[in-house]
Amino acid sequence: MLEGRQGKTFRRRAVLAGAGLLTFSLGTTNARAARPDSPCHPVTTTPRYRGEVPTPSAVLGVDFGDRPFTLAEADRYLDAVAAASSRVRASTLGKSPSGKPLRYAVVGAPERVTPQGIATIGERLRLLRDPRTPLAVVDRLVKDTPAVVWLTAGVHGSEPGGTNAVLRVLRDLADRDDCAARAIVSTTVVVIVPVQNPEGYATGDRWNSYGFDLNRDWFALTQPETRAVTAAMAKLPPVAALDLHEMEGDSYFAPPYAAPIHHEVPAFARESKLGPTVAEEFDRQGIDLFSGREFDLLYPGTADAANSIAGLAAGITLEKGLDSPVPDRVGEHYLASWVSLATVAEQPVELLRAWNSAHRTAFEQGKRGHLQGAGLPLVRHYFLFAGDTTTELVWRLQQRGVEVHKLAAPLRVPDLRHYGRPARAETVPVGSYWIPLAQPAKHWVQTMLGEQNHATPTVFSDVSAWSLPLLAGVEAAFSGAELRPVAVPCPALPEPQAPPAKAPALGVLRFLPPDYPVLGSVGWLNHRLERMWRLPFRTVPGQGVTKESLRGIEVLTVPDAPAQVSYELLGEAGRAALREWVNAGGRYVGWGGTAQLAALLGITSTTLSSPTGEVPGALIRVLVDTDHPLGSGLPSTTWHLNDSNLVLRAANPAFAVASYPPHGSPDWFVSGHEVGASELGGTAVLTDEPFGAGRVTLFSGEPNFRAFTDGMARLLRNAVVRSSVGPRARGDTAPAERAARQLPETRSGFRVTVPSTGVAATRTVLAAFNARWAERGAAGRTTFVIENRDGFERHQPPWASRLPKRLSEAGVRPLAVVLPR
517: preceding bond cis by omega (within 30 degrees): no
What would the CATH number be for the domain defined by 506-742?
A: 3.40.50.880
Per DSSP, the three-state class of 755 is strand
- 319 classed as catalytic: yes
Residue 36's pLDDT band, with cuts at 50, 70 and 90, is low
Q: Give the separation between CA 437 and CA 367, rounded to whole angstroms.
A: 7
pLDDT recorded at residue 27 = 29
pLDDT at 496: 84
Q: Give pLDDT tens digits for 156-166.
A: 999 999 999 99
Residues pairing with 88 in the sheet:
107
Segment 531-545 shows an average pLDDT of: 93
The pLDDT value recorded for residue 769 is: 93
By the 10 Å C-beta count (0-12 exposed, 13-18 middle, 19+ buried), 163 is classed as buried
> On the CB side of 277, how many CA atoms lie within 13 Å of its CA?
28
Window from 35-49, 57-71, 533-547 with minimum mean pLDDT: 35-49
pLDDT tens, position by position, 107-136: 999 999 999 999 999 999 999 999 999 999
- The pLDDT assigned to 115 comes to 96
pLDDT of residue 23: 30
Where is 382: in which H helix or E strand? Answer: strand 381-384
Q: Distance between CA 343 and CA 27 in Å, rounded?
A: 10
State pLDDT tens for residues 328-363: 999 999 999 999 999 999 999 999 999 999 999 999
**pLDDT of residue 779 exceeding 90:** no
Query: Closest Cα to residue 162, out of 247, 225, 91, 81?
Result: 247
Handedness of CA 142, 306, 377, 430 (dihedral sign): negative
**Predicted confidence (pLDDT) at residue 677 exceeds the cutoff of 90:** yes
- Lowest mean per-residue pLDDT among 28-32, 667-671, 787-791: 28-32
Distance CA 449, CA 300 (A): 12
Q: Tell me how far apart the alpha carbons of residues 644 and 624 are, in angstroms, rounded to a whole number.
A: 20
**763: enclosing H helix or E strand:** helix 759-768
Residues of the chain within CATH 3.40.630.10 domain(s) are 56-362
CB 410 within 8 A of CB 429: yes
Rounded Cα gap, residues 617 and 639, in angstroms: 12
Phi, psi angles (nearest 5°) of residue 434: -120, 125
Helix (H) / strand (E) containing 688: strand 684-691
Element (H, E) at 607: strand 607-609
Q: In degrees, to the nearest 5, what angle opens at C-alpha 140 toward C-alphas 138 and 142?
A: 65
Q: pLDDT tier at 31 (50, 70, 90 boundaries)?
A: very low
* Confidence grade of residue 731 (pLDDT, cut at 50, 70, 90): confident
CA 733 to chain centre: 39
DSSP string of 609-643, one letter each residue: E--SSB-EEEEEEEEE-TTSGGGTTS-SEEEEEEE
Relative to beta strand 587-591, strand 555-558 is: parallel
The per-residue pLDDT for range 687-710, each reduced to its tens digit, is 999 999 999 999 999 999 999 999
**β-bridge partners, 317:** 243
**pLDDT of 8 strictly over 60:** no
**What single letter denotes the amino acid at residue 757?**
T
Average pLDDT over residues 488-509: 90
Supply the DSSP string of 171-205, one letter for each residue.
Answer: HHHHHB-SHHHHHHHHHEEEEEES-S-HHHHHHT-
Homologous superfamily (CATH) of 56-362 is Zn peptidases (3.40.630.10)
C-alpha separations of 369 from 118, 426, 443, 455 in Å: 35, 20, 11, 19
- DSSP-derived secondary structure letter, 819: -
Cβ atoms of residues 112 and 348 within 8 Å? no
The pLDDT of residue 29 = 32
In this prediction, residue 111 carries a pLDDT of 97
Which class would CATH give 751-818?
alpha beta
How high does pLDDT run on average in the chain? 91
What is the residue-wise DSSP string for 286-302? T---B-SSS--B--TTS
State residue 472 phi and psi, 5-degree precision. -85, -10
Q: How far apart are CA 367 and CA 438, in angstroms?
A: 5
Task: State how far the Cα of 184 lies from the Cα of 431, in Å rounded to an integer.
Answer: 49
Closest by CA to 559, choosing from 594, 604, 531, is: 594
Residue ranges, CATH 3.30.70.120, the chain: 751-818
DSSP-derived letter for residue 530 is I
Q: Which of 246, 319, 674, 737 is catalytic?
A: 319
Write the DSSP assignment of 400-461 as a string of letters.
TT---EEESS-EEEEEEEETTS--EEEEEPTT-EEEESSSTTHHHHHHHH-S------SEES
How far, in Å, CA of 659 to CA of 616, rounded? Answer: 19
Type of residue at 168: R
Angle between helices 135-144 and 348-368 (to 10 degrees): 150
At a CB cut-off of 8 Å and minimum separation 6, what does 627 contact?
none
Q: What is the pLDDT, as a whole number, of residue 455? A: 81
Contact 398, 447 (CB under 8 A): no
Provide CB contacts within 8 A for 181, sequence distance 6+: 47, 172, 173
CB–CB of 619/640 below 8 Å?
A: yes
pLDDT of residue 41: 83
Contacts of 45-48 spanning 24+ positions with Cβ under 8 A: 45/178, 45/179, 45/180, 46/20, 46/178, 47/19, 47/20, 47/172, 47/176, 47/178, 47/180, 47/181, 48/176, 48/177, 48/178
Strand partners, 690: 695
Model pLDDT, residue 723: 77
**Residue 647: beta bridge partners?**
609
Domain with CATH 3.40.50.880 in the chain: 506-742
Q: What is the pairing mode between strands 381-384 and 405-407? A: unpaired
Beta strands in 466-526 (DSSP E): 476-479, 487-489, 506-510
How does 80-116 read in b/e, with b if 16+ C-beta sit within 10 Å?
A: bbbebbebbbbeebbebbeebbbbbbbbbbeebbeee
Strand segments (E) across 181-277: 188-193, 240-247, 252-253
- H or E stretch including 392? helix 390-399
> Tell me, what's the pLDDT at 495?
87
Cα dist from 216 to 85, 189, 532, 706, whole Å: 35, 27, 18, 8
